[in-house]
Every structure is written in structure tokens, then in C-alpha cells.
Structure 1
């Protein structure tokens, strides 16, 4: 621990597991106060309790990021418990994969309500605090789907492309107020969701080996590798970096044909 985030207060959505929990953990290890936010109350409280046992200054707020009223309440509660936030990590998201013509209005709305509206709801609620601070950071967890199209994944990449547009628009809008807005686009990362996909295959070991082989580095990523990038973006080391999307995929998206 080198306290790169000392005196910072962060809100991390989707923090009960996977990348969100890895980011929350890395932030407290670097000296930040962290409000973990998730729609899964049980897992969120368990994760928060585990961090608190390590001496971290944390709290948990259960909220659905797709509900703007719930988000306003969440930010108010987090502020009351830990102080006004100066870092927001928009990590909460869902996966909706459909054939385009089989995509229902409900499928479309659900995907965008969480993956895009959720990012805006949280950003809108936190931005006034950042403006009062006179500086701050918003970090949106997008996806390689935000820049590359993978067949059979509609409409998820549409929402993630929009997250990059939102990132860039907000970054430029508030750049002269010392508020930085950036995105991180993970590729294959060894989260519980990916592990469940492997486990559901007829031959899990074969699918895992094939997936590893897709990557120039010959493995998939780890949640803590995404968390390390988030720490950097939230630190004072990245003060001149804004409106950017950092792709973390082991080089996979650079490969044209394989």
C-alpha cells in the first residue's frame, strides 16, 4: 500500500463481486474511503463486511442503478456515511445477448436501462459533488464490445458504444472544471460470470484452453488487473488524462484474423 488514493472518497457500483469488488478492494488498499453499491444486498453486505474487517472505511448501499430516484438516495446515503464522493466508478452492468429480430422491447429497454442509463444516473447524481470539490473523476467500465463487434451479442455492444460516447461528451463538457471522465474496456476477464460460462460447456477445459489461445498473451485477464488501471485513473498520476478509453484485453482486439 502506498496510499495513492488517500483522502479520496469513491462510490463503486456493481461492487458485490467480480471487477467491481476488485476495484473496491484496490481502492481501500490505496487509502480511499469506499461506498460499495449493488442490487444484490446479501453479497454486497458480505463484501463490505469483509473489507471492514481489514480496517477499511467502507459502507454498503443497496440500489438499482437503473432507477434514478434510487440512485439519488444512494448517493445521499453514501455521502452521509463517508463524506461527499470525489471518485465515481460506474461498473454495474448486465449482459443481454439476442438475435436482433428476436430482441423484444423489454430486452432492449432492460439492457439500456442498466448499461447506459445506469451510468448516466450515477454520473448525474455525483457530478454536483465533484463540481463543489473543484475536481474529481468518473471512470466508466465499458467493454471491448464498445469498439469491436462480436456476432450474436446484440444489443449489448450498442449500449457499450453509447457508454464511450457518454464518457467523451462528459469529459469535454467538464474538462475546464478539472473533472476527468475516462473509460476502461475489459476483454475476457476471469469473473464469476466467465467461470460459469466455462463450467456450462460440454468440455470446460477445452473451452478454457481455446479462450486462452485467442489472446496474444495466451490467457484471460484477472479482475485485479482492471482494478489497477482504475486506481491509476483515479490517482493524481493521471491528471492530464481525460476522454480516453483504455482497452485491457491482452492484445486480442488488435488481432485481425486468427
Structure 2
């Protein structure tokens, strides 16, 4: 018996990084999945691998730009009632505030916040009707801390936490749980690309590791294991809250 047997769960940004790790773990725990991503090639590859490892599971994959609400509504309408949703898709938008263009401001909100809301809006009616469902938003330590030079990303992630708490309270009495996970630095391709773009990639990596009390950053698989717990029935009294997974980074006052 898996911890997610007989669940149908949608995961956005499922083709790589944290989303892919979550998809693999969810399938291994018995869930049927709808994988969503904007990258067709990576998505098809991810779906093939997960199906091969879990031939008894239903693994659907749909290319979807979550910044387009009509696409989101169309995809979810065809798939039935969902037991869970993981809003993982996101994009880093880092600028000096006054150098942030309107287009970049809109891109940050359209993907990181409005896309998450569009997915929530698509699954909630059936969840409410069945009085059962779990939504998990992949937030960030940017949701409650600020790193200069990363505007407007923390603004959006603070808003995503507001969405989590608001929906969690609105629908708690109707059998719905809405929570968030706030990872710190995770060894995803985005972080590797960020190091590679630095003048001295090796030094950038050392500096990042040194920020963390454990001297390392998280793996995507560590975030995925927490996601299994948050989506499962093992935390039925947790809603409108956030689980921080950052190795103590956000608690540390000085290096």
C-alpha cells in the first residue's frame, strides 16, 4: 500500500527539478498523475520515465502555459475530479526595483501567482463538492525573507503565501486543506545555471553552501519527500500553514 493510493494529483512544472522529483515520489506512493509543463520535450521525457517505473499508474502529461487561464481551465476540465494539486511551476525574476520593466513585473505575477490561482480555481469546485482535497503550493523562503536585488520575486512569493492562508481558511470547514512548502536553496538546474553565470562559478557555489548551517543545499528529492507528507493523510490537522525546508538558512542571523 502506498501513501497516496487511489489519488489523482496534478503537478505543475513537473518536467524537471522539484516538480519532477515530486512526480516520481507521488507515483511510487501509488498516485495517478497529471503532469503539466510548458516544455514539451522535457515533459514527454519525464512522463515516459515515470510510466516505465510505475506501469500500473495512470500518468497523463499535458503541455500547458499556466499564465493563460483558458489553457488551465481546458486541461483540468478534461481530466475529472482531483484529490490533490501541487502548484510548483514558477520563474525567477530578479531585478533592481526601479529597473524592473512592466513586462517583467507582469511575468512574475502571471506565472508565480496568477497561474497558481488558476489551477486552484480549476480543482476547487470538485474538491468542495466531494468535501475532500489537498492543495500544496511550492513557495520559497522568499515568502518571508528578502534578498536585495531579487525584486519582484519575493513580492510574488509573499502573495503566494497569502493565497495559501486565505484559501486554507476559506475552505477548511469544507474538507479542503491548503498548505505551502518553503524551500531554501535546492540543487535544481536553475541554481546550477545561476552559479555558472557568476564570474567565478566555483566561488559562487562555495559562498552559497557557506550560507547554510549544514554546509550544503537541499536536493529536489528532500523537498519531494516533504510534499508526500503534506499531500497525504498523515497531517490532517495542518492547513493554511507553511513547512520551511532550508537547513536553518532563514533562522540564521549571521554567517
Equivalent residue for 1:224, pick from 218, 221, 226:
221
Name the residue aligned to 2:71.
70
| Map of 1:123 onto structure 2 | 120
How many pairs align? 253
Match of 2:48 in 1: 49
CA distance in 2 between counterparts of 1:163 and 1:10 reads 20
Deviation at 1:78, TM superposition (A): 3.1
Measured after TM superposition, the shift of residue 199 of structure 1 is 2.3
Distance between the aligned counterparts of 2:239 and 2:24, measured in 1?
24
Output the CA distance in 2 between the equivalents of 1:241 and 1:91.
19
Matched, 1:6 2:5: yes
Q: Deviations over 1:86-117 (max 9, x none)?
A: 10000011111111111111111111011110
Indicate the SS of the match to 2:182. strand
Output one character per residue of 1:25-52: Cα deviation in whole Å (capped at 9) or x when no partner: 1100100001100011111111001111
Shift of 1:201: 2.8
RMSD: 1.0
CA contact (8 A) 1:111 1:159 kept: yes
Flag structure 1 segments of 5+ consecutive residues without an equivalent: none
Mean Cα displacement is larger for which, 235-244 or 127-136?
127-136
Query: What's the TM-score, normalizing by structure 1?
Result: 0.96
| 92-101 or 201-210, larger mean C-alpha shift | 201-210
8 Å CA contact retained: 1:182, 1:244: yes
Is 1:59–1:78's contact at 8 Å kept on the other side of the alignment? no
Q: What is the SS of the residue equivalent to 2:78?
A: helix
Q: How does 1:85-96 map to 2 (within 5 A)?
A: 85-96=82-93
Instruction: Mark the runs of 5 or more structure 2 residues left unpaired by the alignment.
Output: none
Which residue does 2:199 correspond to in 1?
202
Cα shift at 1:197: 1.6
Confirm whether residue 25 of structure 1 aligns to residue 24 of structure 2.
Answer: yes
Pick aligned residue for 2:104 from 103, 107, 118: 107
Q: CA separation in 1, counterparts of 2:92 and 2:197? A: 17
How far apart are the structure 1 equivalents of 2:98 and 2:177? 38
Contact 1:63 1:71 in 2 (8 A): yes
